[in-house]
Structure 1
Amino acid sequence: GCVASAIDYSPDMVALARARNRAACGEGRLEVLEADAGALPFPDGTFTSAASTNAFFFFARPDAVLREAHRVLAPGGRLVIFTVAPNPPGWMAPPPIARRMSFYSDHELRAMLERAGFAGAHVEAADHRGYSLLATAHRP
C-alpha cells in the first residue's frame, strides 16, 4: 500500500483534516501535518507525486513552493496543480478573500514550473468556462 502525506498552514484545517480522515490516519495510511508549503518537512526525493488543489492562489511565495515540490519529488515524480484562473467570477473568489489571492495565467504558471526545474509543463483549462486551470509537470 501507499502512505499519503498532507500539509496545511492552518492548525484548524489540520485538525479538521485529521478528524475527517481519522481511520486513514489511525491506520497509518495518511499523515496530516501543519507545515509551510515553501519549507516542506520532508527529505529530498520522498514522493512519487504531489498535488495542490485550490491552494496555489494563496501562496505568498509560489516560486519557493514550486522549488520545494521539485525538491521532495523523486526523479520522474509528477506534480499536479488545480487552481483558479485569472478573473474568476465573484462566487469563486469573493472580494474579501480575492484580495489575498494571486491568479496566474497558463503562460505564467508554465514559466513558474520551468523556473523551478520541472519538465513537460502543461497547463490547460480545467472546466468548460475557463474558470480553473490544471497544471502538470514532472521532475526530470
Structure 2
Amino acid sequence: MTKYYSPIKRFIEPFDGKTRALIGGLTGRLATRMGAAIRHSTRLFQESPAQRKLLLIVTDGRPADYDDGGDIRYLQEDTRMAVKEAQRQGVHAFCISIDPSGGEYLPAIFGSGHYSILSNINRLPQSVPEIYLRLRGK
C-alpha cells in the first residue's frame, strides 16, 4: 500500500531543525489530492485548542488524481466543497500556488483573497510578510 499523506510536523511537536530539514527536502509526489488533504487536515485541526486555525496549502498545480478518469471539474468542485466544509468547522484555508494558470481555477476553489500565486517558489520567503498581513486582516 502506498502512503499518500506524510505529516511533517504535528501540532504538539516543536518547529526544530529536523522539521526544517523535512520541509527543505520536500518534493512533488504523485497527484495533487487537495480535497482529501484538506478534509484530513480539517479533522486534525479539531484536536487543536487554537482559536484561530489556518490551513496553509502550498501546491504546484490544480487538483489532480490518477483514478479520477480525467474529470478536472469534479476535482475542483470536490476541493471547493472541502474548503467550505473546513470553513464551517472554523478552519481557514489559504492556498499558495506556483502554477501560472492558477488564476483560472483558484478563485472558484478558495474565493477571492484566499490564495496567492507566486512566479517562483523561491519567492516564498519574501512573500510571507504580505501573505501574513492579508491573513491577519481576515
Q: What TM-score does the superposition give when structure 1 sets the normalisation length? A: 0.34
Name whichever structure is richer in strand by fraction. Answer: 1
Q: What TM-score does the superposition give when structure 2 sets the normalisation length? A: 0.34
Name whichever structure is richer in helix by fraction. Answer: 2
